[in-house]
Amino acid sequence: MSVEFLSDEWFAKVKEIRDAAGDVSAPAALADLVINITVNGDGGEKALSLVGGMIEEGHRDEAPTTLILPADLAKRIFIEGDQSAGMQGFMSGQIRIEGDMSKLMALQSAQPTDDQKQLMKQIQDITA
């Protein structure tokens, strides 16, 4: 069963999947990385964060950087794993960055672990 990306039900399902996965290792470059993400969509703004390479609901006070982008682009980057979409979105002005831009460099160079790949596949499978 697929659920709408960034809906309350989607966040609940993602939490279930993450809880069932247990400890998921992250690449060293992402282990301590915290980035806030504000996604703009039809339902207004949605606050989420990338913590240790994993998406969580809500912003984190300790995040030095915030990405602001449209929902379709967020889905391509964070769910479909389309890294080129991130660079294209930035170059075309669809992605705005507030705060410490250097923190984003870790996202470009880090390769997901096998654990993360398996987890992301499960999240892709439930995302509409």
Q: What is the pLDDT along the chain (128 residues), one digit of tens a residue?
A: 789 999 999 999 999 998 998 888 777 778 888 999 999 988 889 999 998 888 899 999 999 999 999 999 999 988 988 888 988 998 999 999 999 988 888 777 777 888 888 998 999 999 98
Query: CA-CA distance, 74 to 17, in Å (whole number)?
Result: 20
Q: What is the DSSP letter of 80?
A: S
Q: Phi-psi category of 11—alpha, beta or left, where left has phi over 0 and alpha has psi -120 to 50?
A: alpha
**Lateral strand order in the sheet of 65-70:** 54-57, 44-51, 34-41, 65-70, 96-99
State the pLDDT at residue 12: 94
State the pLDDT at residue 71: 95
State the pLDDT at residue 76: 93
State the pLDDT at residue 85: 92
State the pLDDT at residue 52: 84
